[in-house]
């Protein structure tokens, strides 16, 4: 079996960590070699599992490992070449040396680390399933869009560095007060790029990586979840299921105190169905006590999945596809809950199209046949953005 990656995401506090931990328990009980990995810097897997976790992988039980990524630890133990170069560069600019700790707060470092682990686990074949517990939506969207963005920058940075290197070779003496990157540094940068290319393939394979959106039956949460779904489609992620968590049971209304709330909840459940049907919608009731520890996590898994195997892929389609219709090349992107005024397209360079929707943008690498091809039109059809290219 190929590896599976199941990502839980959603607004803060809705139950992502609990759902991820519950799923991981169930999977390991079923015999899948499972790793539960948190990319949220405000880690709470330790609380959820009621155990002490560290920056290294911890074995929790048979078939279940847990990893809370600690970026400072990662920085101290990995990529020393890059760090050395950045430090030397900063020093040459009179900025003083940079420590692993300072480097760790540079934007994106956590994400590179998380994505590297996904690659590593995939290549080593250590696990059957990775369950990813993530930070609230905005941060996670950054994580998932990261391979596109970094590769665009790295490609350009590479051109610049190569040019500097060729000038330096042709000139005797020092060209500028900047240490030139060593072969090791260039190799590390190349390695980051390769890693990002490979992880992108994993993340965009709809049968390998799937996203499950966790939400509560509350108006504001639903609105944010709809938005998250739109953006996940933009980043070509297979969102296959919803987990509606903290549903008040009927009997909560009987005493009167929650009766209004229950009515509201009913309306909100309808709202969820109207927006998301026919997507798979799982449910989990609000429990009487905090949801912590093995027994409750197993109970939660039973509520969400019943007797199903959570490693199933519920729906297998990619939101984005390139097609040729009547000799015209088209890019079709599923884009739910969007109106055409919210979408902007920019050509960054012949082979990169930037698609801007609401607060998110994506640098889309066009296939070779479309490199340089002019866009002849873009239209919305059944919640799908269809971009047509001129024949070359």
Binding site for Mg ion (CB under 5 A): 16-17, 44
Encoded tokens for 264 = 């509201």
**367: Cβ contacts below 8 Å, ≥ 6 apart:** 322
Q: Which is nearer to ligand ADP, 265 or 363 (CB)?
A: 265
**Residue where the block lists tokens 């966790």:** 214
Which one of ligand ADP, Mg ion, none is in contact with 284 (Cβ closer than 5 to 8 A by kind)? ligand ADP
Rounded to a whole number of angstroms, the minimum distance from the CB of residue 133 to Mg ion is 6
Encoded tokens for 49 = 């599992």
- Can the peptide bond before residue 278 be classed as cis, meaning omega within 30 degrees of 0? yes
Q: Which is nearer to ligand ADP, 49 or 284 (CB)?
A: 284
Q: Which is nearer to ligand ADP, 69 or 100 (CB)?
A: 69
Encoded tokens for 40 = 């949220």
Torsion over CA: 117, 120, 126, 129 (sign): positive
Q: Which is nearer to ligand ADP, 151 or 225 (CB)?
A: 225
Rounded to a whole number of angstroms, the minimum distance from the CB of residue 145 to Mg ion is 20
Is the Cβ–Cβ distance between 294 and 49 less than 8 Å? yes
Rounded to a whole number of angstroms, the minimum distance from the CB of residue 121 to Mg ion is 21
For the chain, give the number of residues: 392
Which one of ligand ADP, Mg ion, none is in contact with 151 (Cβ closer than 5 to 8 A by kind)? none
List the 4-9 sheet strands across, edge first. Answer: 58-61, 64-68, 34-38, 129-133, 4-9, 209-215, 238-247, 280-285
Which one of ligand ADP, Mg ion, none is in contact with 244 (Cβ closer than 5 to 8 A by kind)? none
Q: Which is nearer to Mg ion, 17 or 28 (CB)?
A: 17
Which one of ligand ADP, Mg ion, none is in contact with 290 (Cβ closer than 5 to 8 A by kind)? ligand ADP
Rounded to a whole number of angstroms, the minimum distance from the CB of residue 199 to ligand ADP is 23
User: Which residues are near ligand ADP by CB under 6 A?
Assistant: 12-18, 44, 245-246, 284, 286-287, 290-292
DSSP one-letter code for 366: P
Rounded to a whole number of angstroms, the minimum distance from the CB of residue 285 to ligand ADP is 6
Rounded to a whole number of angstroms, the minimum distance from the CB of residue 212 to ligand ADP is 12
- What is d(CA 75, CA 82) in angstroms, rounded to the nearest whole number? 10
**256: Cβ contacts below 8 Å, ≥ 6 apart:** none
Q: Helix or strand or coil: residue 7?
A: strand
Which one of Mg ion, ligand ADP, none is in contact with 58 (Cβ closer than 5 to 8 A by kind)? none
- What is d(CA 266, CA 37) in angstroms, rounded to the nearest whole number? 34
Q: Which is nearer to ligand ADP, 246 or 362 (CB)?
A: 246
Q: Which is nearer to ligand ADP, 46 or 336 (CB)?
A: 46
Which one of Mg ion, ligand ADP, none is in contact with 195 (Cβ closer than 5 to 8 A by kind)? none
- What is d(CA 279, CA 314) in angstroms, rounded to the nearest whole number? 9
């Amino acid at each position: 079996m190929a590896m599976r990656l199941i990502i839980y995401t959603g607004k803060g506090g809705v139950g992502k960590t609990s759902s991820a931990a519950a799923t991981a328990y169930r999977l390991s009980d079923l015999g899948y070699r499972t790793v539960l990995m948190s990319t949220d810097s405000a880690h709470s897997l330790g609380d959820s599992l009621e155990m002490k976790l560290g920056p290294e992988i911890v074995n929790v039980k048979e078939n279940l490992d847990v990893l809370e990524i600690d970026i400072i630890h990662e920085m101290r133990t990995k990529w020393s070449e890059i760090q050395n170069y950045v430090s030397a560069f900063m020093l040459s600019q009179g900025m003083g040396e940079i420590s692993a700790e300072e480097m760790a707060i540079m934007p994106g470092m956590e994400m590179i680390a998380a994505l590297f682990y996904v690659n590593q686990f995939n290549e080593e074949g250590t696990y059957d399933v990775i369950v990813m517990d993530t930070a609230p939506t905005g941060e996670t969207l950054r994580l998932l869009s990261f391979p596109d963005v970094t590769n665009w920058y790295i490609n350009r940075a590479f051109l610049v560095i190569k040019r500097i290197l060729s000038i330096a070779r042709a000139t005797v003496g020092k060209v500028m007060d900047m240490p030139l990157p060593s072969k090791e540094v260039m190799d590390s940068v190349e390695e980051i790029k390769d890693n990002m290319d490979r992880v992108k393939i994993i993340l965009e394979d709809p049968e390998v990586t799937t996203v499950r959106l966790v939400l509560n039956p509350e108006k504001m949460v639903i609105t944010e979840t709809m938005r998250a779904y739109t953006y996940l489609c933009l980043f070509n992620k297979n969102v296959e299921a919803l987990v509606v968590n903290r549903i008040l049971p009927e009997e909560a209304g009987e005493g009167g105190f929650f009766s209004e709330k229950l009515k509201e909840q009913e309306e909100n459940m309808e709202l969820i169905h109207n927006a998301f049907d026919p997507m798979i919608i799982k449910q989990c009731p609000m429990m009487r006590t905090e949801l912590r520890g093995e027994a409750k996590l197993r109970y939660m898994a039973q509520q969400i999945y019943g007797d199903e195997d959570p490693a199933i892929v519920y729906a297998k389609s990619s939101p984005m596809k390139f097609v040729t219709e009547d000799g015209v090349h088209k890019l079709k992107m599923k884009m739910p809950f969007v109106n055409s005024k919210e979408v902007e397209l920019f050509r960054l360079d012949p082979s990169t199209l930037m698609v801007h929707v609401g607060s998110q943008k994506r640098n889309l690498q066009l296939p070779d046949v479309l490199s340089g091809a002019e866009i002849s039109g873009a239209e919305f059809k059944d919640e799908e953005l269809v971009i047509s290219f001129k024949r070359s």
